[in-house]
């Protein structure tokens, strides 16, 4: 399920993570993992996810690789104000946007810009978010399967395509957004109308839209209530849109591609995170194949998740 409405930073109050028992969960030496959520913890994502589930990155239905495929990504050096449950930085409230190709520092950005980003199909989409360093302006990159690029979603033009994907039984089992177009729109629209901390995109391979991505600032997201996050941590969710694109290793390939893009285009981001369901063996394999490591496990409202981490630099190099 979706996150809460983009633009709502997680409230303070969650205790810091503590190490799990050896072999039973999160590793005690990893700052990302956190113990199971307390029974009386408030619901995190009732605005978009179903009640009791956090934002996309936290514990929605498992949008993991490689079927419908859900991931998260990571930021800069540790900061005491962005550990689990801490208030979001001041930039979280500004919500400024920038035209394609223009990078704006979220700590100094002013009011939102109103310039639309151009799309290859001639339609227009909302301007890329400066909080995420304008994903719509990121370059197309060659992959082993063809030329890949991220294109910000435009409504209503992309709604029929997205709705069709969400009604695919394989996708619906994880995303839980099957139904008429209004169901998909209710999930996507708040991101487009938000402050830019979450940007929905189409993944276009050799000119063909074939996947759906959500990039978001994990440090401004309810995921921060479940594990420690760092400034500029970036989340990413993905689903592969058609059956023809599944079972061919594209989940692994595109996850690696997008993680590389995030790290290349967001210089302040040092990690890419993901939290697939621990029972989703194909997803875990895809993340591992894409260069992620399994950091530990976290208890989310709808699942127990494996916290997967893609580091900018190998862990042993630190």
282 pLDDT above the threshold of 60: yes
Give the Cα separation of 19 and 240 in Å (integer).
35
Give the Cα separation of 70 and 77 in Å (integer).
24
Q: How many helices, marked H, and strands, marked E, lie in the chain?
A: 6, 11
Contacting residues for 64 by C-beta, under 8 A, at least 6 apart: 70, 71, 174, 274, 275, 276, 277, 280, 283, 284, 286, 287
Give the Cα separation of 27 and 196 in Å (integer).
33
Q: How many CB atoms lie within 10 A of CB 108?
A: 10
Are the C-beta atoms of 224 and 85 separated by less than 8 Å?
yes
Give the Cα separation of 82 and 137 in Å (integer).
28
Question: Mean of the pLDDT values across residues 178-190?
Answer: 98
Q: What is the pLDDT of residues 190-233, one digit of tens each?
A: 999 999 999 999 999 999 999 999 998 888 888 888 888 888 98
Are the C-beta atoms of 126 and 132 separated by less than 8 Å?
no
Give the Cα separation of 191 and 172 in Å (integer).
20
Consecutive H or E run containing 253: helix 250-265
pLDDT band, residue 123 (cuts 50/70/90): low
Q: What is the pLDDT of residues 260-274, one digit of tens each?
A: 999 999 999 988 888
Are the C-beta atoms of 242 and 210 separated by less than 8 Å?
yes
**Closest of 312, 225, 298 to residue 268, by C-alpha:** 312
| SS3 (DSSP) at 123 | coil
Q: What is the C-alpha radius of gyration for the chain, rounded to an integer number of angstroms?
A: 18
- Judged by average pLDDT, the poorest of 6-10, 26-30, 45-49, 68-72 is 45-49
H-state helical runs in 167-313: 169-175, 181-193, 250-265, 281-289
Q: Which residue has the higher pLDDT, 210 or 11?
A: 210
SS3 content of the chain, % helix, strand, coil (to 5): 25, 20, 50
pLDDT band, residue 104 (cuts 50/70/90): very low
| SS3 (DSSP) at 217 | strand
Q: Sign of dihedral through CA atoms 239, 277, 198, 40? A: positive
Q: What is the pLDDT of residues 134-146, one digit of tens each?
A: 999 999 999 999 9
What domains are there in the chain, each with its CATH number?
A: 56-88+127-273+293-317 (3.40.630.30)
């Amino acid at each position: 399920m979706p996150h809460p409405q983009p633009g709502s930073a997680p409230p303070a109050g969650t205790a810091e993570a503590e190490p799990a028992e050896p072999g039973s969960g999160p590793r005690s030496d990893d700052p990302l993992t956190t113990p199971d959520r307390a029974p009386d913890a408030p619901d995190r994502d009732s605005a978009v996810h179903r009640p009791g589930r956090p934002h996309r990155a936290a514990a929605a239905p498992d949008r993991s690789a490689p079927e419908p495929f859900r991931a998260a990504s990571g930021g800069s050096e540790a900061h005491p104000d962005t550990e689990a449950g801490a208030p979001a930085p001041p930039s979280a409230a500004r919500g400024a946007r920038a035209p394609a190709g223009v990078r704006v520092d979220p700590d100094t950005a002013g009011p939102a810009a109103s310039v639309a980003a151009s799309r290859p199909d001639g339609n227009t989409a909302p301007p890329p978010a400066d909080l995420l360093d304008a994903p719509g302006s990121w370059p197309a990159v060659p992959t082993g399967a063809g030329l890949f690029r991220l294109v910000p979603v435009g409504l209503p033009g992309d709604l029929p395509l997205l709705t069709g994907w969400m009604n695919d039984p394989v996708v619906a089992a994880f995303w839980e957004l099957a139904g008429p177009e209004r169901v998909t729109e209710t999930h996507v629209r708040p991101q487009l109308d938000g402050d830019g901390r979450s940007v929905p995109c189409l993944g276009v391979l050799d000119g063909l839209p074939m996947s759906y991505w959500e990039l978001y600032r994990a440090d401004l997201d309810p995921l921060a209530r479940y594990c420690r996050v760092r400034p500029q941590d970036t989340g990413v969710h993905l689903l592969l849109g058609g059956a023809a694109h599944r079972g061919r290793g594209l989940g692994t390939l595109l996850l690696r591609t997008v993680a590389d893009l995030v790290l290349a285009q967001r210089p302040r981001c040092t990690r890419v995170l993901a939290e697939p369901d621990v029972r989703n063996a194909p997803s875990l394999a895809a993340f591992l194949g894409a260069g992620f490591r399994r950091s530990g496990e976290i208890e989310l409202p709808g699942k127990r998740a494996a916290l997967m981490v893609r580091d900018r630099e190998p862990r042993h190099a630190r």
